[in-house]
């Protein structure tokens, strides 16, 4: 089995965030909020996982967004600036619930962008 590289996770995360960006820039009545939510959340997961793999940190399975963020914060204080409190599903190890309110998914998208910026610097 081929090992997953941090670079491939970052590339996947970039694609997910780009798809969320395309959807969020549609007219609000045309935007599919489920896609914005899913793609934003998955991009955060990929960015944090890639960061931890790059630092050779063990990632337990299953894990949550909060669990990943805690591990990242232990390595780098810059992660203290990321606030997942608007992401209500951050404690869920399974990816089955979605926010559908446009305001809510807009906030999740913003947090995904913040995560991308932090991981890529």
Q: Note the pLDDT tens digit of each residue in 59-75.
A: 988 888 999 999 999 99
pLDDT at 76: 96
For residue 105, being part of any structural domain is answered with yes
DSSP tag of 78:
G
Residues 6+ apart with CB under 8 A from 93: 62, 63, 64
Total of domains in the chain: 1
Cβ proximity of 37 and 95 under 8 Å: no
For residue 4, what is the DSSP state?
Answer: P
What is the model's pLDDT at position 87?
A: 78
Any residues with CB less than 8 A from the CB of 65 and at least 6 apart, and which?
A: 41, 44, 45, 48, 84, 87, 89, 90, 91
Any domain includes 1: no
For 8, residues 6+ apart whose C-beta sits below 8 A from its C-beta are none
CA distance 61 to 102: 31
Number of continuous H segments (helices) and E segments (strands) in the chain: 4, 0
pLDDT mean for each 10 residues of the chain (121 residues): 84 97 90 88 96 94 90 96 79 56 84 95 85
Cβ atoms 45, 69 nearer than 8 A: no
CATH of the domain at 73: 1.20.120
Residue 115: give the domain boundaries.
6-119
- State residue 97 phi and psi, 5-degree precision: -110, 145
């Amino acid at each position: 089995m081929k090992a997953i590289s941090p670079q491939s996770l970052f590339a996947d995360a970039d694609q997910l965030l780009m798809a969320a960006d395309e959807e969020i820039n549609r007219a609000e009545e045309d935007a599919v909020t489920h896609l914005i939510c899913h793609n934003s959340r998955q991009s955060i997961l990929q960015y944090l996982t890639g960061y931890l793999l790059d630092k050779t940190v063990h990632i337990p399975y299953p894990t949550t967004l909060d669990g990943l963020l805690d591990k990242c914060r232990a390595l780098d204080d810059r992660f203290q600036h990321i606030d997942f409190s608007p992401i209500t599903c951050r404690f869920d190890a399974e990816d089955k619930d979605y926010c559908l309110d446009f305001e809510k998914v807009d906030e999740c998208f913003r947090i995904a962008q913040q995560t991308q910026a932090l991981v890529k610097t």
